[in-house]
Amino acid sequence: MNISAIHKLVENGFHEEALNKIQAAKDRGETNPILMLFEALALYDGNKDLECLVMLNKFLSKIAPDHEKHYYALFTSGICLMNLGLPTEASKLFDLVPDEYPDIESERREAKLKSNVSKEAKNIYKSLIDRANA
């Protein structure tokens, strides 16, 4: 199976079939990094944010920073971090994505808002623990 066929499977929501084809390609020795990106997207669409993040990290480690999907992988990694409850970390990734990238400004705002809420909640938690232990 060629890479464009796998891409079509991912694009059309056939995630399990795509993952099976990707695994078969890897078993045959295929090393094209784009397979990692497609695997990440299939995992993301299957609500497997941590696994997606792992694959995006592998993809980014295999490509040059000027690869056409570099910012896409960073953006998607940020979304996964948000979904995993790590808005501060997501915000740092979103800051690496160019301002003209689609939807980046709204994601930056959301990440910063959630990060601020998370910091405030942690401060309140610390206060609660201090009071409980007093």
6-30 confidence digits (pLDDT tens) = 999 999 999 999 999 999 999 999 9
Backbone Cα Rg of the chain: 18
**Assigned token pair, 14:** 């056939």
The pTM for the full model equals: 0.87
Task: Determine contact, residues 86/94, Cβ cutoff 8 Å.
Answer: no
pLDDT of residue 8: 94
pLDDT of residue 2: 83
**Assigned token pair, 130:** 């201090």
pLDDT of residue 1: 55
DSSP for residue 65: T
Q: Is residue 65 exposed (0-12), middle (13-18) or buried (19+ Cβ within 10 Å)?
A: exposed
Residues of the chain with pLDDT under 50: none
pLDDT of residue 3: 87
